[in-house]
Structure 1
């Protein structure tokens, strides 16, 4: 009888991980469809370029406050999961009242101060015309910058209410998770993608090929902004009835601010919000420098398109690895369990390397055909594909260190140390700005991404050093040799994939458009399969324990089925 709860808990964790993984996959697929529609309708034009600048602050708030694992979500789950269900509604309603009141004031300020805030986000759009002419910038480029600025300000004002919606969505996510409801919070970003798809569909139906005319740029930008706002509204409205039905509060004014539970949630929420915001500041830093690139709209558009291609597999695999790993790490923090903790750290890093490194190699090797197959149609032309491919290569190089850093951050959290990752994040802001300054001048938009990669590399090294000292030494040399071997295997796999696709693509030019698209998709599938197969063969020869463990787990799953 004593062993039953742990088994039940373990089974529950596996079920939760599966639910989150499937829901995340669906959300990412719809997010990719949304991005494909945006690319087809707007390409690298001013409407979408402006949107990337305008979305910085509203999107920052939506991700920060409304995201799963965000501070609102985490604070509410940590407090409410321990409370009687009958008390929860009062607590949630009081928290909702406080948060909504504060964020309404924030929304009003965003609308009033839209122009100076956009100046802060993208100062390159506000450079006087005379100064641009003195630098040899063409009149056409200067006009595009002016249009981008005007559209961005309009979009920013339209999306300002997302500040309030971000808080409501985040509170709802936390309340639903505290009541053991995981599917809806994880899948709800689909609704945001759907509204954008509907908005773009309506715009295409109305304007047809006239979408890209300069006189329609403002209208196109407004449709993007309004449909994004509608998506945030829908995200909240979809979860609200479920939240009310679960007895987890809703949208009722309640001023019971002195309750200990309300104070406890706010005590966790405020510093967690500040800490989580450090990561998003790096995004703003990149766009700050991107605004000084002469064709800023094209640069930030390419960053958006390429970023989604990387975040789709990264988001899915990060949930699969991190969700089950964190509770395991949390149980091994006592010194007598440190040997097992080190083993689990290695597991997390090796699983990250085994999944991220071959994917990185394939995306670097096949960046251009991937960009062409996914995006190149209608307004998205060959030039846009080439720029997106260059940025995609830069993003792909950093996939392992991005997720590896998250694994190590979870180790610090498991040890009850949130200060060390926070201090590293603060230093990273300054390092990211410094690297952006130098690399954007030499490489343009890809340089901004490489700056972030460099910062993540430094973060991993520092965290490994601190953990090595704190845990009385870790076998870093043997780990590094294994990861280096996987890097070499990935490079070989990437080279093979590129060679296979290059040979196959020699016959694509003579095909019709439909046949060529099918051949490109097939070529990517074959090249990727060859690359992954070659990587797998090399990795198996390295006799990495995690491969055997993963293989045995898959065999057990199939045997149970």
Structure 2
């Protein structure tokens, strides 16, 4: 591709064009596996703590009306978090801050961050006040079925008001995360959500040991959720201040970087929120089935483990690389980065997808079937998990592809993909819900994520040049061919152990799931080696280097 169309694709980038005779940037696919593995480790800690948090929640509240009330109450500020903070803001802020660091200097980049903070405090603060005042109307719209149970809607309104200040806290945390990621400091941001989970776990343990009744427990859980948001911000501050940042919020609507962020965030607000918007739509339907909001929430939390550990980790590394290459007008480099990221996502998520499908009931039984969480809840949650799992690769891949468009200042394209996904999800909800109930909602969400990914992949080829699509498809099929026997092995091992050990004791459940996962993992690694999957060699090489450093 010539230099001229590259300049047209990036009209707002201040970097000068390449001089005649300048060699093109290096465009070899970047080795993201090593850094992604480091981020994955921190993210895995967070996700495991998140599962522990959900286990305590299940023990306290199960899938009761009180659990439904919390799930819906938290969904509103959580949706806004994805729309305005960790999703759209991060996608718009990272490339803008990176560009400012490269072309305007550190001092101006820090000033940009403070201007963004000032605007956030004003806008998000106003949204928080509106959410607290109009909580009854929000709940009536989002969960119309709650009014059929006495006190359920009122309790949801109270929890919503308690947790709405969570939004400005995580918005500030997103700015801190963006600054640190843009400077390739990934550890503290990756640990931020772990701190949120630590606070929630400590709070849940306190509520359980103190013997609070369900209504008191759900209110206390809401308070500890808010405190967890504060911890998510606080854990990043030492690393942030170490970079030279000083907290001086300012309002300057003429700041060029703020204008660019606002321009990107408009479409990005929808562009990165397809999954959350679809969950919002699902909640309206699910509120008509007692227990369904909780079943879907537990199932999606299981999905968040591989999405977070693999998809978010790869996306975190890829976003920084994509932003830098966009600032340098290196489109071939962006193509190589994106292809490498999608291959790594497939290598990591496809076996997770197959494994969740094969072991849905044993995993849900092990993690959640305690206290108020009943065997019937296990079966219902496992069905939702199975349906969600069909879209796991697409969920994670969207997180890698979408930031490329924001780096290119083409933020309307993810908007189109999200609109298609939301439209498809609503259509499938209306079509499937009468026949499959809540299971149809999970299946519709997975199909919508797949549609979103397909649109983004097609449009990237149109905007930034052809990806090696045949190579990506071949790689996906090779990984899938390794993953299917992996799932079969895990299923057979689990069934054989369940027949011999039963499923009543915690030790039996741990052995059954643990050995099944180990067997499936060994089969997958062996077949990846046989099929010459390059990502396996990259990860193994990284492990060998780490061992050599420790020995030295």
Task: State whether TM-score is above 0.5.
Answer: yes
| Cα deviation 1:44-66 (Å, max 9, x = unaligned) | 11222111111122112233444
> How do 1:286-305 residues align onto structure 2 when only pairs under 5 Å count?
286-293=282-289, 295=290, 298-305=291-298
Q: CA deviation at 1:111?
A: 1.6
Partner of 2:277: 281
CA contact (8 A) 1:89 1:248 kept: yes
Conserved 8 A contact 2:163-2:225? yes
TM-superposed deviation, 1:372:
1.1
Aligned partners of 1:497 and 1:530 also within 8 Å: yes
Change in 2 beyond 3 A, CA 1:313/1:264:
closer
**1:29 match:** 48
Change (3 A) 1:307 1:231: same
Cα gap change, 1:113 to 1:467, in 2 (>3 Å)? closer
What is aligned with 2:360? 367
Q: What are the equivalent positions in structure 2 for 1:11-410 lying under 5 Å apart?
A: 17=36, 19-67=38-86, 70-71=90-91, 73-74=93-94, 77-78=97-98, 80-82=100-102, 83-87=104-108, 91-126=112-147, 142=148, 145-177=149-181, 181-207=185-211, 211=213, 216-217=214-215, 219-240=216-237, 243=240, 246-250=243-247, 254-260=250-256, 262-293=258-289, 295=290, 298-326=291-319, 346-410=339-403
Q: Is 1:520 aligned to 2:509, yes or no?
A: yes
Number of equivalent positions: 523
The residue matched to 1:249 in structure 2 has which SS? coil
| Gapped regions of structure 2 (runs ≥ 5) | 1-22
CA distance in 2, matches of 1:87, 1:317: 33
CA contact (8 A) 2:33 2:538 kept: no
Q: CA deviation at 1:241?
A: 6.1
Shift of residue 91 of structure 1?
4.6
Q: Distance in 2 between matches of 1:385 and 1:263?
A: 48
Q: Mark the structure with the bigger radius of gyration.
A: 1
User: Match for residue 535 of structure 1?
Assistant: 524
Are the aligned partners of 1:85 and 1:248 in contact in 2 as well (CA < 8 Å)? Answer: no
Contact 2:364 2:378 in 1 (8 A): yes
Aligned counterparts of 1:389 and 1:148: Cα–Cα separation in 2: 25
Distance 2:129 2:107 in 1: 35
Shift of 1:555: 4.7
Flag the 1:259–1:363 CA change in 2: closer, same or farther, 3 A.
closer
- 8 Å CA contact 1:86–1:247 kept in 2: the answer is no
Shift of 1:35: 0.9
CA distance in 2, matches of 1:180, 1:408: 19
Residues 43 and 313, structure 2, Cα contact 8 Å, conserved in 1: no
CA contact (8 A) 1:44 1:302 kept: yes
CA contact (8 A) 2:83 2:270 kept: no
- Taking the aligned partners of 2:249 and 2:463, their CA distance within structure 1 comes to 47
Q: Give the Cα–Cα distance (whole angstroms) in 2 for the partners of residues 441 and 206 of structure 1.
A: 42
Say what the alpha-carbon RMSD is for the aligned residues. 3.7
Q: 1:93 to 1:50 in 2, by over 3 A?
A: same
Residue 8 of structure 2 is matched in structure 1 by none
Equivalent residues of 1:65, 1:71 under 8 A apart: no
- Residues 510-532 of structure 1: CA distance to partner in whole angstroms, max 9, x if unpaired? x8x6xx32222122222222223
SS of equivalent to 2:210: helix
Distance 1:444 1:354, change over 3 A: same
Partners of 1:103 and 1:164 within 8 A in 2: yes
Range with greater deviation from structure 2 (106-115 or 518-527)? 518-527
